[in-house]
Structure 1
Amino acid sequence: MIYFIIMERRKMKKALLKKIPVVEAGIKDKQYMELCRQNYLMKVQKATVAHKRTLILNLYDAENIIKEQYQPFCRIFFSNRDFITYFIKENRWSIKTLDILEAEKGKFISQIAIRTYKEKRSIQQFFHCTDDAVDSIQLIQIEQQKRKAEKSLKRKKRSIKDIESLFRSVKPVTGRFEKWLEYEVLKESQYIFYQYSRRKMIDCTCSHCKSEYQLERSIPRHNKEYVCPICKRKSIFKAKGKSGYFSDYSEAVKIEKASDRIILRHFEVRKSYAAHGTGEYTLSYHEDYRAVFQEKFHFYYPVYSCLAHKNVWKEKYIDPYFHYRYHLNYTIKAYQTITQMPGMVYPYNLKNVFKGTPFEYCSLDYFVKNNRFVELPVVYYLKTYLKFPLLEQFVKQNMFYIALECLYQLPNEWEETKETNTRHFLGINSRYCSILSKYNMGIREWGVLQKMEKLKIHLSEQEIFAYCKIFESNRDFLELNQYASIRKIVNYLAKQIEKEEKGKAYKLSGDVSGISHAEMKCYQTYIRSWKDYIEWAEKLEYDLKSRYVLFPKNFKDVHDKTFREYQKQQDKMERKKTGKRKKNCEPTFEERYKTTGETNSESGLYLKSSWKLSGNPKRRTGVRTLCRKLYPSYCQSGM
């Protein structure tokens, strides 16, 4: 604290500087400026301010001096370690150097004259310069740059000390943390190395448990997944002749507490495997940036400091438009990585780290406990919790997928809510809430359940899960319940798909865990086609209460036939509309003026009788007569 008081005393006191009397120019200065043809005049003044020697440089505009306006427009104050410029009319202060100082906006100060040798000598004496060959203006600029560099250096040193004191409580990583990185963060980095041989049994080595065993020659295949028979962990086969050098990469986050702050440390972790395929690897990691929360998030990254001769932490300003700069993949990834801080969270210190902070009840420890191997955007999680405290309830009720979706796309109306009960907030009954929790469903599935409750559709838990799986949580198909139950519709479509597409029939009451993406798209195409068929049948006034109309035996043929009938009906209706339009429309130009032989009293036009567009060109004078009456100025110009 004493350090900052000393620094405050060293600053130049503006109130005292303003009180120093102003030196005006005179007639001699006017005569001198008329002869030297310089833009500005500088006059030197000395004073003692707060027991400090102060040099004052008064700047005058040459044009004003010639007009006998002798007041300076700005004053530059120098102390032993600082300088500052004061513009009198604008009443503003500046710390710009003389070479980039502006008298007005866009008008830089240049070509400055000093009239007397005594003033030049005063400048040299103040700056302790003994070389008379040095130009006084150049000397002023050099001293300004020197003082700015000194202030910048002090500012950097002070910043380094402040950041070092901030991170003083951060401890080096422990062996337990390293084991967590190796066996949990890089859990997927498991390989079984084998040497291909024509023998019946092939020697294999597991990279995780280091066990050596033999497998039948038909089992190992390069890059094929397999479960190690010893450690029972999922692994990937790697042939020693094909593998070469490769590495796996992941990210991790460790949260620590420092007095009233939360420090988030982001690590890049890498497992590198040797080229000879023995299963040996090296684990490497480094801390690439940190985030500190105190009222808001501040981000720091390591850089090498020439002042401290070591790596130090420096604060990074996050530009909100950095994400869109140049639209490069690297800039987008860097922005997202820094602002989100993705990675697996170290779980063993989360119980006590948030105590006494705004995140005390954020339930991040419960989320990590139940999702140990999920890469989580930690900064987004904490920011979202501050905006939307109900996130805690979603996590505690095992609605993890909804919680994750809130981190990336939180609806605006959710931020403004004051509701504390999740069931009332979601607007669904307790049964649907338990289904959301049991199957870890997301916001789209919540919309499906909301619409089911509104339309009074009754399905079992298994059927709801199957519907969301097959139709990818599309709510629009639920409206078909007015024609038949969703259960009947899906069962009917399953039979048609099995018959026409030779595919597997999936029912809502059956197991749909093995359904492929192509099969889901097939079901969605069929239900859209059935929806179109029902709409056409309704407009054609078919009996939609009939089971034979709703569920025809050959759906494809009936669908196409109904479409053709619907198209015919639409064409017929269009022809009727066209006929009515022709009857109701006004007569054409030729019909209107074909048989009239009278003068129109309103427009004064003479309408020639028995006039036609087709026929003898000599008889087409009616057009010219009409045009001359309508557009006389245009016709006179050359028609």
Structure 2
Amino acid sequence: MDKRSLKRYPIKMASKSTVSQACRIENTDFYLHAHTALISHQRILIISLYDKNKLRNKEKDPLFRIFMTKEEYITQDFCEEKPVWRTGRMEHLTESTWYKKIEISCCDDRSAAVLNRFFSYLNMEKLSPVDKLIKGQKRIMEKRLEKKHQRENSKIDQKKREVKKLPKNFMDWIDETAMAHSRYIYYQYSRKKYMDGYCTHCHSDVKVSGVKHRKIGVCPNCGKKVLFLAAGKATRILDHGEAVYFQKTKKGFVVRFFSIYKYYGKHYKTPEIRTLELKRIFYEDTKCLKYEWRNFKQTGEIRWCDGWDGYTFYDAACYTANLEKALTGTPYQYCAIKQFADRYEGASVNVPYYLKRYSSKPFIEYMVKAGLYHMVEELTQPWYFFGEYNQDGKNLLEVLGVTREQFRFIQQNDMYSFEFRTYKKMLSQKNVRYRKTSAVSVNSMSVISV
């Protein structure tokens, strides 16, 4: 519809009978006048909506004017100083809700007949003329949304095609590394010195002695850290984990985030592992495109959606076999995330914040290579503040503000940030005492010389 032609169309003022109705009837909030006209070679339904309170004050101009066809509608709003165009439905413009029902009535029988005739294609004879108008606008809105959603989904699906298949050993890595915290030895309790047990990590039958339920120990076969469980007491265990997989794309790389569930039931030798990919972040130079697996626009369709950031993966294990290849040629090529992710088996990494911090704090690379893992763990958390670091330092000694000897002590102890702050305070207090002692010595020497 051409807005210029619609704007030039004469405004329908309320009739005397409509004003009379507004003064006599209490239950109606708005009065509706409907007629059709040929505008720019197009048959258009024109609806003028009058407010009851204005009519009682002898103000006959409409509050809204709706122009509508079977495919589209638009509203001219006269509430402001200058008329503005609205795309909302009549229900929303009149602020009608489920708890606040707004009553709208036709001004005359002719308006009701126009609405019935115009919306005859709806095949809803039992509805009132006003309800038919509401249904007609709702149907047009649904078609608008459907087309809009199709456009959005086509872009998302096009991006989805850039994601390749997972490697064949990915599920083995999930079980062995990402779920490293889910390792148990189930044992059959008896009064014998050696009891029969089963290690869920190395999948072997073992003999255990002197163990207790839910106590940490080591598997006698594979030597891995495990939790001992009495088979009769631990019938159901559900462990949760998170995993991250990097994948090369044409414009950069994509980070894929997986939620993992491992369930041990009565048949603990064959636990059930389920993975669900919930998030993808595409890194393309300075761009960061986020997609999540969720309910699309509250439509009930579960699919990939863009623009969300609802899932947090702060403690995810990182698949590192292809990590260097995925980051080659990108701004994150030397970020040292592989070394950080391999600091121990199944180490947790907050990947989005690690990459974000590295972009503005590139000294993280040197911290990782120096083995200052605890500092990096805190630096890559969203709550952390960088007050104790000199971000303009050219090397790690300048960043930390310490000497080479002091740095070796920090490195050997792999200090946390609060330990580092305490250590620097101790050094500063020591320097202050040293200066005071030196000043006293100088004064003493001057007295002696006199």
- Taking structure 2 as the reference length, the TM-score comes to 0.78
Per the alignment, residue 116 of structure 2 pairs with: 124
Residues 243 and 258, structure 2, Cα contact 8 Å, conserved in 1: yes
1:603-631 CA distance string (max 9 Å, x none): xxxxxxxxxxxxxxxxxxxxxxxxxxxxx
Residues 412 and 135 (structure 1 numbering): CA distance in 2 closer, same or farther, change over 3 Å?
same
Letter in 2 for 1:286: T
Give the superposition deviation at 1:143.
0.9
Distance in 1, matches of 2:389 and 2:318, equals 26
Given the alignment, which residue of 228, 232, 246 partners 2:223? 232
d(CA) in 2 for partners of 1:163 and 1:275?
A: 42
- Relative to its length, the structure with more helix (as a share) is 1
2:320 matches 1:369: no
The structure with the largest strand share of the pair is 2
Cα distance change on mapping 1:159 and 1:142 into 2, 3 Å: same
Aligned partner of 1:348 in structure 2 is: 321
Partner-residue secondary structure (3-state), 1:86: strand
The equivalent of 2:67 in structure 1 is: 77
Q: Residue 238 of structure 1 aligns to a residue in which SS?
A: strand
Q: Residues 280-291 of structure 1: matches in 2 within 5 Å?
A: 280-291=269-280
| Counterpart mapping for 1:146-545 below 5 A | 146-197=139-190, 201-214=194-207, 218-260=209-251, 262-275=253-266, 280-293=269-282, 295-296=287-288, 298-303=290-295, 311-315=302-306, 317=308, 338-355=311-328, 357-408=330-381, 409-411=383-385, 413=387, 417-456=391-430
Deviations 1:168-206 (A, max 9, x none): 232343331111111112224333344344556544443
Contact 1:261 1:292 in 2 (8 A): no
State the percentage of identical aligned residues. 24
Per-residue deviation, 1:76:
0.5
State the shift of 1:280 in Å: 0.7
Instruction: Note the C-alpha offset of 1:372.
Output: 4.2
Pair 312,64 (structure 1): closer, same or farther in 2 beyond 3 Å: closer
1:21 to 9, 34, 40: 9
- Taking a change above 3 Å as real, the CA distance of residues 44 and 398 of structure 1, as seen in their structure-2 partners, is same
CA shift in 2, pair 1:42/1:268, >3 Å: closer
Q: Which runs of 5+ in 2 are unaligned?
A: 438-450
Change (3 A) 1:365 1:48: farther
CA deviation digits over 1:428-448, x for unaligned, max 9?
112222332333212223224
Partner of 1:597: none
Q: Is contact 1:251-1:266 (8 Å) kept?
A: yes
What is the root-mean-square deviation in Å for CA atoms of aligned residues? 3.9
CA gap 1:195/1:43 in 2 versus in 1, 3 angstroms: closer
1:87–1:189 CA distance, 2 compared to 1 (3 A): closer
Q: Distance in 2 between matches of 1:377 and 1:248?
A: 19
Partners of 2:109 and 2:181 in 1: CA distance: 81
- With over 3 angstroms needed to count, the CA separation of the structure-2 counterparts of 1:270 and 1:146, relative to structure 1, is closer
| Contact map agreement 2:193 2:210 (CA 8 A) in 1 | no
Q: Report the CA distance between 1:417 and its aligned residue.
A: 4.2
- Distance change (3 Å), C-alpha of 1:138 and 1:206: closer
Cα deviation, residue 403, structure 1: 1.4
1:339 partner SS:
coil
Which whole-Å CA distance do the structure 1 matches of 2:421 and 2:230 have between them? 48
**Partner AA of 1:177 in structure 2:** F
The CA distance in 2 between the partners of 1:54 and 1:388, in whole Å, is 61
Match of 1:88 among 78, 94, 103: 78
Partners of 2:162 and 2:249 within 8 A in 1 = yes
Query: Match of 2:442?
Result: none
Q: Which structure's CA Rg is the greater one?
A: 1
**Distance in 2 separating the partners of 1:158 and 1:480:** 71
The residue number in structure 2 matching 1:30 is 16
**3-state DSSP class of the match of 1:347?**
coil
Conserved 8 A contact 1:256-1:262: yes
Shift of 1:347: 0.9
Give 2:401's aligned amino acid: G
Contact 1:101-1:108 within 8 A present in 2 as well: no
Q: CA deviation at 1:114?
A: 2.8
Compared CA separation, residues 25 and 103, structure 1 to 2 (3 A): farther
2:176 counterpart SS class: helix
Q: What are the ranges of 5 or more consecutive residues in structure 1 without an aligned counterpart?
A: 1-11, 319-334, 458-477, 484-639
* Closer/same/farther in 2, CA of residues 206 and 237 from structure 1, 3 Å limit: same
In structure 1, how many angstroms separate the alpha carbons of the residues matched to 2:116 and 2:87?
Answer: 21
**How many residue pairs align between the two structures?**
423
Following superposition, the deviation at residue 259 of structure 1 comes to 4.0
Q: Equivalents in 2 of 1:57, 1:315: separation in Å?
A: 38
CA distance in 2, matches of 1:80, 1:373: 60
Q: Cα–Cα, structure 1 residues 21 and 108, in superposed 2: closer, same or farther, change >3 Å?
A: farther
Residue 113 (1) aligns with residue 106 (2): yes
CA distance in 1, matches of 2:115, 2:370: 76
Q: Cα offset for 1:146?
A: 1.8
Residue 331 of structure 1: aligned partner:
none
User: What is the CA distance between 1:113 and its match in structure 2?
Assistant: 3.3
Distance 2:129 2:166 in 1: 58
